[in-house]
A and B are shown apart, each in its own frame.
Chain A
Amino acid sequence: MIKAISVRNIEKTINGKKILHDINFDVYEGEIVGLVGPNGAGKSTLLKIMTGLYNYEVGTISYYQYDLKDNFEEAMSIVGTLIEYPDLYCNLSGKKNLELFKTMFKNVDEETIKEIVNIVEMEKYLGKKFKTYSLGMKERLGIASALINKPKILILDEPTNGLDPIGVKKIMSILKNMKDTTIIISSHMLSEIESLCDKIIFINNGTIAGIKNIEDINNSKKHVSFVVDDYSKAKILLNKYAINEELEVYEKDDVISKINKELIFNNINVYRIFEKNNLESEFFLMINDKFDKK
């Protein structure tokens, strides 16, 4: 497999405080990677470093064969970015915004712009000024501006922030259809990330807490919660399995079945068993320092 993104030993200090410590990871061509972590973990800082908005003192970042520091223009010519809120030029129309960004790339023609506008379903609104757009439209135009060079790599920081469920669905469907594009995306919407990504990078306190394939996350264990009649008795019984006070366990299928049998065997009526989002479970395990890094 070809390495599309290579991040090595990245460190970042802001105002004397170390924000990122020795960040290392690789993303292979065509992979969609989610960057997950609590607020202040360093996700946005990392993505800003990866897009050239922040400088970095230590480490290297490469996109294919191009080093970001030494060959910034070549590296960024194959990367599309959408960082946080889509702040394009308010007084320009959507079309003029795209034309302005078009001039910064070689070989981007009108046809490509039309194609991209079509993908983000913005044909009708291109003539209107950016400031008149709804948040969803702004986000879609932001994605169009990120796709203008048909990038091999797409870096997205919270692309669905503030969007309604329809907007989120639309953005996710655009991203799912991006074939052959390597995507690195940070978001707090864990269920969306789970459905989109192949791999998850967990980041906490400026370090990588772990990197897991989504298949491993889904296949290994399940996060379930039990609804029973005798809560206190069940709590004592589930003590060794439970990950919190809410009769929630994060175990493999056979263990869950065993727990269920144990509850019934002890005359506790199990009314319902809810399956929860696995990525969410991994996330909470990470921030509670119970994360299995394997």
Chain B
Amino acid sequence: MINLIKNEFFKIKISKILLSFAFFLIILLFMNKYSDKKIEELSFNLIPIVGIFLCLFFSGTISSEIQSGTFKYYLTKPASRHKIYVSKLFASFIYSYISVLIILISISLISLKIDLIYYSKYLTYSIPLFFLSSLIIYFSNKFKNTSFTICICILLFSFSLVLSQLLFTIHLNFIEYTPLPYLDFTLFDDKNNLNIINMNFNTLLSLKRGVLIDIIYTFIVFYIGLRSFKKRDIKS
């Protein structure tokens, strides 16, 4: 399994991944130099950027292998489809959390302090990346089209809150039981804003509920995706 995960990074190219890490560092240094706000506060804005890189790197993880025909070789080697799907998902989890760790380590180095409460908050706010990873791999398998997967994932991730509020206005309140309003946890930073949304739309959005829903849906999407991947005929 470890080899399969390594292969995924090998295919994306390690240099691209390192460049994305360098990009996070540059952004942090830039924010630290030119912004009046504390770097810790600003650092939460990097989570969506990690999400966008996640979409860019992993949207083709299944679709581009089908499109280019490389799956004809990869899937005929002695690794079950189950392992291959899980390795792709784990690779995207690992990428997300290495990015988050790099951001946290960089912030500690920049601010020269260790703040465990801040770390735990940051890690909690990164939980939507788990769900996003499982969604990316699922769409990559479902749509067989890398560009479409990138577009749909970035759109969902970027406009999840706007879209949720839009759906709440037309009384589709069941949305609060889906991960859509919980793809960006920075919403829960501003308690007043959250209360207004909850009051206006008669919802019960909360961080705890968000964490729970994201984790549950990560497993659901993973399970559905894995089943469909195992049953799929690989056509070239």
Interface residues in chain A, defined as those with a beta carbon under 8 Å from any beta carbon in chain B? 14, 48, 51-55, 72-77, 79, 81, 83-85, 87-92, 96, 100-101, 103-105, 142, 145, 149
Q: Which residues in A have their C-beta under 8 angstroms from that of B236?
A: 83-85, 87
Are A54 and B233 touching (Cβ within 8 A)? yes
Nearest residue, chain A, Cβ from B236: A84
CA distance A1 to B13 in the complex (A): 47
A88 to B68, CA, bound (A): 8
Expressed in whole angstroms, the minimum distance between the Cβ of A86 and any Cβ of chain B is 8
The answer on a CB contact under 8 Å between A51 and B7 is: no
If A84-B72, A85-B236, A87-B236 are given as contacts, then 8 extra A-B residue pairs at C-beta distance below 8 Å, sorted by A number, are A48-B234, A53-B233, A77-B78, A81-B73, A83-B72, A87-B70, A101-B77, A104-B4
A-B CB pair tally, cutoff 8 Å:
77
Residue of B nearest to A130 (CB): B70
Which residues of the other chain, A, contact B70 by a CB distance below 8 angstroms? Answer: 87-89
Contacts of B71 in A (CB 8 A): 53
Interface centre among B70, B77, B79 (most CB of A within 10 A): B77
Q: Which of A75, A76, A87 has the most CB of B within 10 A?
A: A87
Interface residues on B, range: 20 to 34
> Are B234 and A54 touching (Cβ within 8 A)?
yes
A85-B69, A103-B6 known; A53+B76 contact, CB < 8 A: yes
Does the CB pair A74–B233 fall under 8 Å?
A: no
The 8 closest A-B pairs by CB, nearest first: A87-B69, A103-B3, A77-B78, A104-B77, A81-B76, A76-B78, A53-B234, A51-B76
Q: Is the CB of B72 within 8 A of A53?
A: yes
Q: Which A residues are in CB contact (< 8 Å) with B69? A: 84-85, 87
Instruction: Tell me the bound Cα distance from A104 to B75 in angstroms.
Output: 10
* Residues A90 and B79 in contact, CB atoms below 8 Å apart: no
Q: Judge if B111 is at the interface, Cβ distance under 8 Å.
A: no
B73 pairs with A87, CB closer than 8 A:
yes
Q: Which chain B residues (3-27) contact chain A, with CB distance < 8 Å? A: 3-4, 6-7, 10-11, 13
Question: Inside 8 A of A77's CB, which chain B residues have their CB?
Answer: 78
Contact with A along B207-236 (1 / 0, CB 8 A): 000000000000000000000000111101
**Are A87 and B231 in contact (CB-based, < 8 A)?**
no
Distance of A251 Cα from B67 Cα, bound (Å): 48
Contact at B72–A104, with CB atoms within 8 Å?
no
- Are B76 and A73 in contact, with the CB atoms below 8 A? no
